[in-house]
């Protein structure tokens, strides 16, 4: 049975849901989005995702399409109508529909709102227990990677390169070999003295919601965290490397290109953080999970 999608005020079978050909999201990638994990029917880290959505809209001067309360009514409705227990909720807001011209359209043009859901959340436990291979690719993105826009072509190309190499992800590298993040997840390493290192939340990376939660869980577990850039050479020499993200949870990396990380097995820190993250999502509560 087709999923029900929400598009500009209407709930429709996904195959019948359409956007206008002059929607600026389609023509200019002039839109922003969020991907939210649904776990046991409840959203993971819903409030921080909604905060980031508002921030992305503000940074691009896109009008807020509706109150968070109204967006939440739609999101809940979609999760329930599609009976999503473990899945993802996708929200996209575009600047709206207008004859194609680069400048913003008139203030009166309403933003477009699209929401869809999918069954299936997180990678399988089997993959996480084995750890994954990543490749490296040049970071070819623009200067505002902190805004979650739908302009994802460089990410798509890097992920495709990873897929062709039978790798899970692509670590993105600046010309001086700094690892910014991965194509759809944040990158971390664990140093020999057990310090967790991840790129600071500058305009060079997306400030991951999962990254922030894992920082909190790791601090509570007693780990030291350094938010600083690190190089590919440091990652190759690290005790552990791992990724975090809404669709990744915490994923140990065991191979970078053809170089094993440490002994080539998932690290204990990544596996512990993965367990802690799992405990966190298992303990979501129906009376608070949708609060914004
Ligand atoms: N991507 N970095 C990039 C470039 C991302 O696209 C994502 C998430 C992340 C992790 O952020 P978060 O923890 O908030 O999911 C980091 C989503 C899942 C996507 O585009 O499908």
User: Which of 78, 104, 119 represents a domain boundary (last residue)?
Assistant: 119
Residues 109 and 133 in one domain: no
Do residues 100 and 244 share a domain? no
Considering the domain architecture, whether residues 142 and 82 belong to the same structural domain is answered as no
Distance from the CA of 271 to the center of ligand 1, in angstroms?
20
153, 245, 251, best to mutate for ligand 1 pocket (most atoms within 8 Å of CB): 245
Cα of 52 vs centre of ligand 1, distance in Å, is 12
Atom number in ligand 1 closest to CA 183: 4
Q: Tokens 């053809």 belong to which residue?
A: 258
Contact between residue 206 and residue 55 where contact means Cβ atoms under 8 Å apart: no
Residues spanned by the domain of 192: 125-281
Catalytic residues: 148
Please tell me whether residues 139 and 212 are part of one structural domain.
yes
What atom in ligand 1 is closest to the CA of residue 206? 2
Provide the whole-model pTM: 0.98
Q: 208 C-alpha vs ligand 1 centroid, how far in Å?
A: 6
**CATH number for the domain harbouring residue 257:** 3.20.10.10
- pLDDT tens, position by position, 149-204: 999 999 999 999 999 999 999 999 999 999 999 999 999 999 999 999 999 999 99
pLDDT at residue 2 is higher than 90 = no
CB 238 within 8 A of CB 190: yes
Q: Compute, in angstroms, the gap from residue 36 CA to the centroid of ligand 1.
A: 10
Looking at the domain assignment, is residue 30 inside a domain? yes
Which residue minimizes the CA distance to atom 6 of ligand 1? 184
pLDDT at 1: 61
Number of domains in the chain: 2
Average pLDDT over residues 131-146: 98
Residue 144 has pLDDT above 70, yes or no: yes
The residue whose CA has the least distance to atom 11 of ligand 1 is 208
Within this chain, do residues 168 and 33 fall inside the same structural domain, yes or no? no
Residue 292 in domain? no
Dihedral of the alpha carbons of 7, 13, 16, 17, in degrees to the nearest 10: 10
Within 10 angstroms of residue 142's Cβ, the number of other Cβ atoms is 10
Average pLDDT for residues 97-126, to the nearest whole number?
Answer: 96
Q: What's the rounded mean pLDDT across residues 237-261?
A: 98
Residue 110 clears pLDDT 90, i.e. is over it: yes
Q: Which of 92, 246, 249, 274 to mutate to test the pocket of ligand 1 (most atoms within 8 A of CB)?
A: 246
Percent of the chain with pLDDT over 90: 98
The mean predicted confidence, pLDDT, of the chain is 97
CA–CA separation, 200 vs 203, rounded Å?
A: 9
Of 74, 89, 119, the domain-final residue: 119
Residue 136 lies in a domain: yes
DSSP E strand boundaries for 139-286 = 169-173, 178-182, 186-190, 196-198, 225-227, 230-231, 240-245, 249-256, 259-260
Ligand 1 centroid – CA 181 distance (Å): 10
Q: 25-81 pLDDT, tens per residue?
A: 999 999 999 999 999 999 999 999 999 999 999 999 999 999 999 999 999 999 999
Ligand 1 proximity of 245 Cβ (cutoff 6 Å): yes
pLDDT at 140 over 90: yes
User: Could you tell me if 112 and 148 lie in one domain?
Assistant: no
Q: Is the beta carbon of 181 within 6 A of some atom in ligand 1?
A: yes
Per the structure block, which two tokens stand in for 240?
Answer: 């552990």
What CATH number is attached to the domain comprising 63? 3.30.470.10
pLDDT tops 70 at residue 260: yes
């Amino acid at each position: 049975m087709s999923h029900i999608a929400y598009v500009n005020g209407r709930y429709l079978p996904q195959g019948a849901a359409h956007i206008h050909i002059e929607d600026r999201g389609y023509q200019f990638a002039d839109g922003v989005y969020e991907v939210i994990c649904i776990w046991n029917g409840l959203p993971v880290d819903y409030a921080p995702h909604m905060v980031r959505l508002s921030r992305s809209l503000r940074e691009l001067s896109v009008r807020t399409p509706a109150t968070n309360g109204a967006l939440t009514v739609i999101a809940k409705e979609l999760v329930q109508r599609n009976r999503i227990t473990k899945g993802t909720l996708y929200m996209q807001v575009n600047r709206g529909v207008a004859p194609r011209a680069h400048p913003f359209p008139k203030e009166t043009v309403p933003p477009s709102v699209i929401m869809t859901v999918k069954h299936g959340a997180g990678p399988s436990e089997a993959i996480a227990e084995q750890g994954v291979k990543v490749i490296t690719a040049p970071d070819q993105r623009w200067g505002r990677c902190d805004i979650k826009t739908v302009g994802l072509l460089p990410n798509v190309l890097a992920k495709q390169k990873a897929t062709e190499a039978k790798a899970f992800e692509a670590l993105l590298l600046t010309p001086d070999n700094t690892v910014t993040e991965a194509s759809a997840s944040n990158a971390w390493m664990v140093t020999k003295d057990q310090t967790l290192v991840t790129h600071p939340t500058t305009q060079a990376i997306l400030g991951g919601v999962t990254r922030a939660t894992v920082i909190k869980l790791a601090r509570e577990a007693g780990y030291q965290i350094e938010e600083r850039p690190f190089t590919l050479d440091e990652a190759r020499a690290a005790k552990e490397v791992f990724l975090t993200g809404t669709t990744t949870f915490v994923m140990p990396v065991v191979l970078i290109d053809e170089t094993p990380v440490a002994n080539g097995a998932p690290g204990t820190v990544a596996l512990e953080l993965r367990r802690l993250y799992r405990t966190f999502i298992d303990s979501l509560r129906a009376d608070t999970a949708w609060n914004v």
